[in-house]
Structures are given as C-alpha cells and as structure tokens.
Structure 1
Amino acid sequence: MKKVKIKEFKADLFLLSVAIAWGVTFLMVQDAVKNVPVYSFLFYRFLIATVLMFVISKNRFSNINMKNVSYGIFLGSILFFAFASQTFGLTHTQSSIVAFITGFNVIFVPFLAYILFKDVVRKNVLIASFVALFGLYLLTMSGTLNFKIGEFLSLICAFLFALHIVFTGKFSTKEDVFLIVSFQFLTVTILSLLFSLYLEDITFNVNFDLIFLKAVLVTSIFATVYAFLIQTYFQQFTTPTKTAIIFTMEPLSASFYGVFVGNEILTFVQIIGAVLIIIATLMSEIKLKKSTKTHYQKEIDIIS
C-alpha cells in the first residue's frame, strides 16, 4: 500500500508539471493567435507533435492494434471538440467566463467516473473539487455570468475535458500509452486541418514569423508531447478526480506567469482564489481514513 501511495504522489507531481506547462504557454499562444487563426495554429501545433510522437514511438509500431488506434481516435476526437467548443465560446463571451466555466470539469469528473465506471471518490477529494472551483471563480471571473450561447459552449467544453480525463485514466492501463497518444495527436491534427480549411481564410499560407514559430514549437514540444504523454502515462497511478483538481493549477500558473513576465497585477480577490486552489490540491492528497479506498486504487493495488 505504501508503494502505491508513493506512485500516486509521484504521478500527482508529474501531472502538476503538466498544468504548469499549459499555464506558462498561455501568453505565448495568446500572442500567436492574434495573427494566425486558431485552427491553423492547432493544426501546426499538433502536426509537429504527431511527427515527434511517431518518431518517439517508432520501436513500438509492432504493438499497433485496433484497440490503441481506436482509443487514440476516441480521445483525440474528444480533445479536439473540447478545443472547438471552447474556441467558439470565446467568440460569444469573455475569456474570464470561459476559463471559469471550463473549470467545471473538476466537478464533472467525479460524477462521470462514478456513472461510467462506478469509481468511488474519497470525501475529501470531492470537497476539494468544490473548493478548487470556488478558487477558480475568484481567480478568473471578471464579468457577469449569464447563460447564453457562449456559456453553453463553454459548459460543453468542460464536459468534454472531463470525459477526456476520465477515459484517459481508463485507457492508460489497457494499451501502449505511446501509441494511444500518437493516434490521439494524429486525430486532432486531421480535424484541425479540416476545420481550418472550412472555417478559416488561411491554413498553409500563414505568416511564419518569430512569434508564431516560437509559440508553435514550444507548445508542440512541452504543452503537447510532454503534457499529454505525461498525463496519459501517469493517470494510471492516480484518480481522474485528483487529476482534474491538479489541472485547476493551469490558470493559476498562467496568472503567476503573467505577473512575472507580462507585468500583470493580481487583485486581492484573485490571490484568495489562488490560495484556495493550492489548498484544494493539498486537500486531495490527504487521506482522512485508512479504510477509505477507492475502486480506482484497488485497481492500482492489483497492477502493482
């Protein structure tokens, strides 16, 4: 049991590094998409990531089968449409509102994990989910929350990200992680290309300036290959709900990065929100009772 807990804690630390990677690249992406359409940017980002993943996975090609291909396509489709709904949501409402509603995935995850796979969530982890959501509200919200098309699309995005986290946790224990990630990236690349060709004016003739090249290279390597490979591999050692809580550190790391690099200023309320997110993350690591063991942790005991 102690060995399992060490693996789980190690997994949580690596997942935290994923949230930080996403957060610190936010400003970079924001600058890049000012001059390059979103789906074009996603196409180049995931194209480079796909090539890198297939190079990394070349010695595993003999393990390719219908399961890891279908898992990759399934996860890639969910991930792309999460990006798509979020992007369209941003055209209808403020980015702060989209960020907050997207954070609802931290609440969706435990319920989806229970409904789909009967995973029982520890009480303190469930409480930490709500604490994290409230912290996210204080950190990100700067507008009036209504329920119009932008909010609805953002809610769909949150649901899809929650699905992605839950299914990633399950698939990562069943098939080769490297191949799942490779085909996931390939799926996002193809869908991004199709959406870009259909919805945007430019796809292949984008302006390859320094800002774009820096953003697409950094995000493809660190925020895509590293991030999703780490997420897919280490989720087999922790729970989907804890993963969702840890990922609320993404907007927190983006905010801190904005303070140190972009000269942005955090208000007192935002600082309180940041503290609550950190508290929620720490709460999720604490076990209230030794006898409390989730269905997911029993699976880890078996595979260990």
Structure 2
Amino acid sequence: MTTKLANGLLLAVGAIWGLAFVAQQSAMDDMPAMLFIALRFFLAAAVVAPMAIYERARIADPDTAARSHHFVVLGIVFFLGMSTQQIGLLGTTVTNAGFLTTLYVVIVPVLLFVVCRQRQSVAVWMSAFVSLIGVYLLSGGDFSRITWGDWMVVLCAFCWAIHVILVGRFAKQTNRPVSLAAKQFFVCGCCGTIAHLVSESLGWTDSTFSVSMLLAVLPEIAYAGILAGGLGFTLQIVAQRHTSSSVAAILMGTESLFAAVFGAVFVGDRLTPAGYFGCALIFAAVITVELLPVKKFGMSQGPTVRQPRQD
C-alpha cells in the first residue's frame, strides 16, 4: 500500500467517524453510555473476526503470542478514550467537547517530539495548528467557563493521542493488523461491560438492559459497531502501517468537519460564516501535509549518514 492510498483511507475514516456522531448522540437518549460502548464493540469484534481468522490462515506471524499484551494495552487505552469523552459530555457542552477532543491532533506530534524524541516535519506542525484553528472556528469559538467535564474531555484527547501513537507502533510490528483490530474491539467491549455493571451496582445508571432498549437503538449500534467500529478502526490500523502517526492524526481529525456536514444534512444544523472558514482551514491542513516537503527539525534521531558526492 502506498502512503497516498493510506492517507486517503484515513481521510475516509474521518468521514465514517463524522457520521458516527449522529448515531452516538441518538443512541444516548435510550441507552447508558457504557452499555452502548460494550455492545458497539462486541459487534465490531464479531464483524471483523472472520477476516481475522482468514488473515491468520494466510499470514504467518510467530511473534503474535509474545505481543499479546499489545492487544490488551491498545484495547484499554481505546476504552479510556471512548469512556472519558462520553462522561465528559455530562459536565460540558457539545461545542466544548468537540473542540477539546480534537486537541489530540496537536497532542500527537507534541508527545512524539517530547516523549519519543521523534522530529516532526514543518508541514506536520503547520497542519496541526491550522487544523486546530479550523476546529475552533467550526465549533463557533464560544466557550463557557472550564468545568470538570472539560477536563475529562481533555483527558480523552490525551487518550486518543496515545492510541494513535500506539497503533502506529504496534501495527507496524505485526503481520496481522486485522487481528490486532479485532482483539482491540473485544478488550474494549469487555471494559465497557465491566464499567456498566459497576455503575449499575453503584446506582450510577438508572436503566437496565432490556430487549425494547436494544431494539430502540439497534440502527445506531449497527452503524457504530459495523461501520464506525469494525470498518473505520480496522482501516485506521491497516493504513497507519504505511504513514506517520502525526499525519494520521491530522487526517482522522477531519471527523469534526464531516460531523458538521452530516449534522447539517441529517439533524438540520447550520454553520456560521466562521464555521465555513474553519472547514476551509481543515481542508487546507490536509492538503498542506500532503504537498509540502518533509523538512524535519528538532531533536536529532541519530547520526546522519553522509552520502558520497556524485561529480
């Protein structure tokens, strides 16, 4: 797979996740958040499982057992990102949550630079901050006072940033990216089930599971589980094997742009002039990261091999 094809797939992932916001918002009216997360990702694991079995039969990967902890770590971080975002929405506005979640676009290159000592290209830094400004304008730029919910969503952004980095690393260490995705979904579903049972036993959740509840949110679970989960996150893992984590974060960050578009189509949301300008900036960020030369700066990653002159 070429880098451009991988980047195109990640842009498609942003569109899939953008529409998922509509499904998630609708589902939360009838089902507790942790239960929705559990059912959504158990379904995603079931959908991807046949492809993972086929992949295992075709591709030998003798080190899979030794890297089994990768699946657990990735699934837990994935669940933390999903759950902190949903809990944060209880204590903040949708506008604040949308902007603060997309902070992961900027957090990814910062973490790679500070923690992993990986230099980032000028194009990546420019695109990250232009994308951030675009999301700010897209959200309307009207923020209330910082609340505990805001801090939860900031924590969510850090979780997503860590997840993007871990996917970039783990996916390149395995020959079975679909298996990695399936096991990540299963771990996330287990975490969601445990969280729901705990919250129910402590009285934090009023409603209990029922067939009528399931039927009420079945379309939302189907989309969120099969397309946004099974297809979207599997494409993320497959595509991130062929591009950088920083570029992946920017491309997947366009989910806020597509969420605004699908919100206008299906829910009747309308953008302000500033919002449309924010859309233009996000697309400009995507184009920039594709076209500008990769000129890196920052901490050195080791000695540079000097090439002989061609006289």
TM-score, normalised to structure 2's length?
A: 0.87
Query: Quick check: 1:169 aligned with 2:174?
Result: no
Indicate conservation of the 8 Å contact 1:128/1:280, yes or no: yes
Q: Which amino acid aligns with 2:137?
A: L
Q: Which residue of 2 aligns with 1:188?
A: 188
How much has 1:51 moved relative to structure 2?
1.5
Deviations 1:105-135 (A, max 9, x none): 1111002122343322110211110000010
- Equivalent residue of 1:14, what SS? helix
Provide the residue aligned with 1:267 in structure 2. 272
Q: Aligned to 1:219, what secondary structure does the other structure show?
A: helix
Amino acid at match of 2:155: I
Which has the larger displacement, 123-132 or 135-144? 135-144
- Are the counterparts in 2 of residues 7 and 237 from structure 1 also a CA contact under 8 Å? yes
User: Which residue of 2 is the match for residue 299 of structure 1?
Assistant: none
Q: Tell me what 1:124 maps to.
A: 123
- 1:136 to partner: Cα distance: 0.3
Kindly provide the amino acid, as one letter, of the partner of residue 163 in structure 2: H
Q: Distance in 2 between matches of 1:116 and 1:236?
A: 21
Q: In the alignment, which residue of structure 2 is the partner of 1:213?
A: 218
* Structure 1 counterpart of 2:159, one-letter code: L
Which region of structure 1 is more displaced relative to structure 2, 65-74 or 8-17? 65-74
Which amino acid in the other structure matches residue 193 of structure 1?
T
Change in Cα spacing, 1:63 to 1:207, as seen in structure 2 (3 Å) is: farther
Structure 1 residue 209, shift from structure 2 partner: 5.7
Identity %: 25
User: How far apart are residue 203 of structure 1 and its match?
Assistant: 4.8
Asked if the contact 1:72–1:179 (Cα under 8 Å) also holds between the matched residues in 2, the reply is no
Give the secondary structure class of the aligned counterpart of 1:93.
coil
Which whole-Å CA distance do the structure 2 matches of 1:36 and 1:212 have between them? Answer: 7
**C-alpha deviations, 1:154-197, integer Å up to 9, x for none?**
11111110000011011111012122112111110001001111
Provide the residue aligned with 2:16 in structure 1.
21
Cα contact 2:140–2:274 (8 A) shared by 1: no
1:72-106 Cα offsets, whole Å, 9 max, x none, are 11111111111111112111110110110111111
CA distance in 2 between partners of 1:211 and 1:244 (Å): 33
1:113 corresponds to 2:108: no
Residue number in structure 1 paired with 2:305: none
Counterpart of 2:122, as a letter, is K
- Corresponding residue number in structure 1 for 2:145: 146
| Structure 1 runs not aligned, ≥5 long | 1-5, 297-304
In structure 2, the partner of 1:156 is 155
Residues in 2 aligned to 1:195 and 1:249: alpha-carbon distance in whole angstroms: 30
Given the alignment of the two structures, is residue 50 of structure 1 paired with residue 34 of structure 2, yes or no? no
Alpha-carbon distance in 2 for matches of 1:198, 1:86: 18
8 Å Cα contact 1:36-1:206 kept in structure 2: no
- Deviation track 1:208-235 (CA, whole Å, cap 9, x = no partner) reads 4655111111111110111111101111
Tell me the equivalent position of 1:285.
Answer: 290
Rounded Cα–Cα distance in structure 2 between residues aligned with 1:214 and 1:193: 20
Distance 2:7 2:193 in 1: 33
Which has the greater radius of gyration? 2
Question: Which residue identity lines up with residue 187 of structure 1 in the other structure?
Answer: V
- Distance in 1 separating the partners of 2:24 and 2:181: 22
The separation in 2 between residues aligned to 1:258 and 1:220, in whole angstroms, is 20
Give the Cα separation in 2 of the matches to 1:169 and 1:132: 20
TM-superposed deviation, 1:252: 0.7
Structure 2, unaligned stretches of length 5 or more?
200-204, 302-311
Per-residue deviation, residues 51-78 of structure 1 (Å, max 9, x unmatched):
2222221231775833442111111111
| CA–CA distance in structure 2, aligned partners of residues 47 and 243 of structure 1 | 25
Paired amino acid for 2:182: S
8 Å CA contact retained: 2:119, 2:296? no
